[in-house]
Structure 1
């Protein structure tokens, strides 16, 4: 029981020569043993049945007796102590693998019959299930708001071996969006947007990250203090920087290691924008954790803030570098992205350079110095048009539209079916072509040619926006049939702006990070609340 074998039929001509014969197969009891059109017989349950084969008008059958192999363990792709969350109309696939003890104490995978039962089919149903090798794949669909249990048993296992997964289905209710913005930035604590040159932020106000003169949480967007006209904005961890219409740089929030462009001993944090007075005029501004970089119109990079692992690329290391300092080398960069203690730049020729701490996200292998304070070119047989970085992984699109990733893959954020690190840029085989790619703390998203968003990686808070709480190693479509122009990924929150400018966030809602006035998680895109006069002015 649980095993498979391929059957075949041969004919014999008048001279005694054998030749293969194509026959039609059938099973008298497919619950005991099934057989497909290729003749693959699968033993499913203990018992006796007949397998028939037919060639033209000739039909024969053979009796099959199936014995069962004992199952002593069933492993699931979800934890039984965690609640599986689903949204009405959304489906999710989980896996179950059976094991039996063979020989002396050796537990090995065995092919076995497994029963999957939903206790309340009004809440959730089993949409599909199939056995592939020794692995069962079961697709569950959320039907209506409520809770129920998925019960997993096997007739080949002891009666006491019963697994139960709690399923909670939430209602699907996506209100119409009202707030139109021009740019987005998502961080680990704070999210921000630009609308008609005005900056608005929401979420955790610790260290003054909202920039509104207060250190309080706001679950709805509030205007950043001052009469600034901003054209770019960025955030990552606990500070925000923005570029105004005169190419001046302003920052607010936590000034750890001089991230605001001022020595930390002089300014611990600021809840209103302060100018980085020593910064040259920038054409592009990028913000990382406790550091930032700007690009001049000539593509020269200047960075400031935390430099303990050489992540500023200025040729030295230091705990603090508050003054914007030129990245070493004659590079002409078109973009800069930040990992945890790794920074990478894309140059005008489509080459990628990285610097900082020796981790897999550096993309230079394991046999390198622990600290790399100057840019090193990655050895990749192609050129690139865009790059993005999460906390411990980096992804890029090459000129042909192919996706390359490297770094930590523990949660599936690299888009490969195994959860290990890639120490060199690796081409990812996926069934999608993206025009834009974005990385968050432990997840990745892309926008395809039609403006549809696809996400993969960690999903414990719903940051993939696919209607459930399961992580994924492959791209899954974001719910809602929205057409996106831009995405911004934080740690466990994702925000998006449609082609009409309407603004949505989903995922972790703690401390008001989603901006809709609540602190709950959302498992699909939900509109960000438009600022009102009570919040400090219309957008």
Structure 2
């Protein structure tokens, strides 16, 4: 979830009448998924745009702090601090009051000043965030903070490799670690999983035979274990994203640096090390990225050897990078060259359709790849087996990515997840779209054949959804009121329901609201907010 900031005026206090105090009125509320800025208007008709956070910084957490400073000269030495506030919890209100002395100093230079924010991550250096120059007419206002929430992780399903930090199969949603930690996110990669704690540290659990969990050894941990970074095995507190693919993994820190671990075959980790295993996350170069995705589908005979990343630097923001190798079914090379060699270093996609757009996210499995551009359109490529590319094709190989059509509609898509041979997409209105092979009712239709075009899947009588997930033969969605619905093949406890083929989206009884969902190899991982379900 993106951080949300509101700037609201409070009632006027009894200040000296020599200082007129028109209130500041909010024009727009910053919503998740929009640029993190707020337009503010002064009552005298002047306006100011405050950059609340850098556009590429989308996470604020408990323990971070914000300091607000009026700068009335050319340097920060000519400034007045309004104080530093520490974020204590989600939805914190952080009031900053301007005193008469502050106003006197701040307006000494022609009644002009600049407003700066200093954002300090918990344990990290301060970052200056600049606001525009404007008349100083306001004495008191409040910054309302919505932080990225902390969750409990609940799991259910198979435990072949301790992938759920349990030894035996689990048939109902069960707390991962007895509430020993709070979590920001979890990612799945077959039987390997990575989770980011509310302290910004990365933890691993599940299969670790190739060092994919980066825990400093090759042992399958029986409980979530801290991941190690660098030769000294440090545990940084600024990890914001992770991705894993059974044999190898990657992680991003808040600065955009990429770290990799596990099996390096076929150049899948972009460091040209060859077929070796490593068990600590190592930094990959100095280029910065804002999103990463490994080929995280476990399918028989295929475990994926590809890694995609999206650039963050000014010269390549939104550009797609990739490394590794895959057979022609997935076409990581986006080329019709037969038996193309592996791409052993992270390389920018600089020709073809994928070089013509700025990208927000990307995903890939054995048969297909999909990416969402900044216009929230979906492009797909790969093998159109059983309709998994959603283009009425059942056998062709599409080397050049093409824009996916949504049955005549133009939804803005914010997330795509890929199952075995089916796919789901979530649009901005909360609709869940599906296409591909409906084996085991993975698309919630009675006919278990292929569905060649995207269509809307009704969840709980068309309730809007906030998250989706898919794996080989199972699918899931979370409604905006925090309820989890699942469908597809139920086996080994993978979806928390009795065994069998579940045709329609079915509610999974659970006493707490679910905020996000992941599906792994015959398993489900749910992030609970801790709030009771209404």
TM range (shorter): 0.5 to 0.7
Q: Residue by residue, what CA displacement relative to the aligned partner does 1:314-360 show, whole Å, maximum 9, x if unpaired?
A: 23222422111223462423333425221111223111111111434
Q: Is the 8 A contact 1:235 1:287 kept in 2?
A: yes
Distance 2:284 2:419 in 1: 25
When residues 464 and 223 of structure 1 are mapped into structure 2, their CA distance, relative to the original with a 3 A threshold, is same
2-structure distance, mates of 1:492, 1:274: 29
From 396, 399, 405, the equivalent of 1:429 is 405
Say if 1:358 and 1:335 are closer, same or farther in 2 by CA, change over 3 A: closer
Select which of 332, 335, 346 maps to 1:375.
346
- Whether the 8 Å contact between 2:151 and 2:529 is mirrored in structure 1 is no
Judging changes above 3 Å, is the alpha-carbon distance between structure 1 residues 358 and 511 closer, same or farther for their aligned structure 2 residues?
closer
The structure-2 alpha-carbon separation of the partners of 1:469 and 1:479, relative to structure 1 and needing over 3 Å to count, comes to farther
Q: What residue number does 1:46 align with?
A: none
Match of 1:272 among 223, 228, 248: 223
- Matches of 1:448 and 1:470 in 2, distance apart? 25
Change (3 A) 1:386 1:473: same
Establish whether residue 259 from structure 1 lines up as the match of residue 212 from structure 2. Answer: yes
Residue in 1 that maps onto 2:464: 483
| 1:406 and 2:358 correspond | no
- 1:369 Cα shift? 4.1
Q: Distance in 1 between matches of 2:216 and 2:269?
A: 16
1:231 Cα shift? 0.8
Report the CA distance shift for 1:344/1:196 in structure 2 as closer, same or farther (over 3 A).
closer
Residue 210 (1) aligns with residue 189 (2) = no
The residue aligned with 2:322 is 354
| Aligned CA distance change for structure 1 residues 413 and 434 (closer, same or farther; 3 Å) | farther
Q: 1:424 to 1:329 in 2, by over 3 A?
A: farther
Shift, 1:479, TM fit: 2.8
SS of the residue 1:309 aligns to: helix
**Using a 3 Å threshold, how does the CA distance of structure 1 residues 441 and 346 change in structure 2: closer, same or farther?**
farther
**Equivalences for residues 494-533 of structure 1 within 5 A:** 494-516=475-497, 518-530=498-510
Instruction: Please state whether the residue corresponding to 1:283 is helix, strand or coil.
Output: strand
Give the TM-score taking structure 2 as reference length.
0.59
The superposition leaves residues 264-306 of structure 1 with CA deviations (integer Å, 9 ceiling, x where unpaired) of 6x51x12311111325431222232332211111111112122
The secondary structure found in structure 2 opposite 1:411 is helix
2:434 counterpart (450, 455, 458)? 455
Distance verdict in 2 for CA 1:523–1:372, change over 3 Å: same
User: Could you say which residue in structure 2 is the equivalent of 1:166?
Assistant: none
Structure with the higher strand share, 1 or 2: 1
Question: Are residues 1:417 and 2:396 paired?
Answer: no
Instruction: With the length of structure 1 as denominator, give the TM-score of the two structures.
Output: 0.58
| Change in CA separation of 1:391 and 1:345 when aligned onto 2, cut-off 3 Å | same
Q: 1:216 Cα deviation (Å)?
A: 1.1
- Quickly say closer, same or farther: Cα 1:256–1:423, change in 2 above 3 A: farther
CA distance in 2, matches of 1:303, 1:350: 21
**Structure 2 SS opposite 1:272:** coil
User: In 1, Cα distance between the equivalents of 2:276 and 2:436?
Assistant: 32
Indicate the structure (1 or 2) with the bigger Cα radius of gyration. Answer: 1
User: Structure 1 residue runs of 4+, over 4 Å off?
Assistant: none
Do residues 303 (structure 1) and 260 (structure 2) align? yes
In the TM superposition, what are the counterparts of 1:190-209 in structure 2 within 5 Å? 197-209=151-163
Contact 1:440 1:490 in 2 (8 A): yes
Structure 2 unmatched ranges of 5 or more? 1-147, 230-234, 297-303, 513-527
The runs of 5 or more residues in structure 1 that have no matched partner are 1-193
Q: Is the counterpart of residue 228 in structure 1 residue 193 in structure 2?
A: no
Q: Is 1:242–2:195 an aligned residue pair?
A: yes
Cα distance in 1 between the residues matched to 2:215 and 2:425: 36
What's the secondary structure of 2:161's corresponding residue? Answer: helix
Q: Indicate the SS of the match to 2:310.
A: strand
8 Å CA contact retained: 1:220, 1:529: no
SS at match of 2:439: coil
Match of 1:469 in 2: 448
Contact 2:149 2:184 in 1 (8 A): no
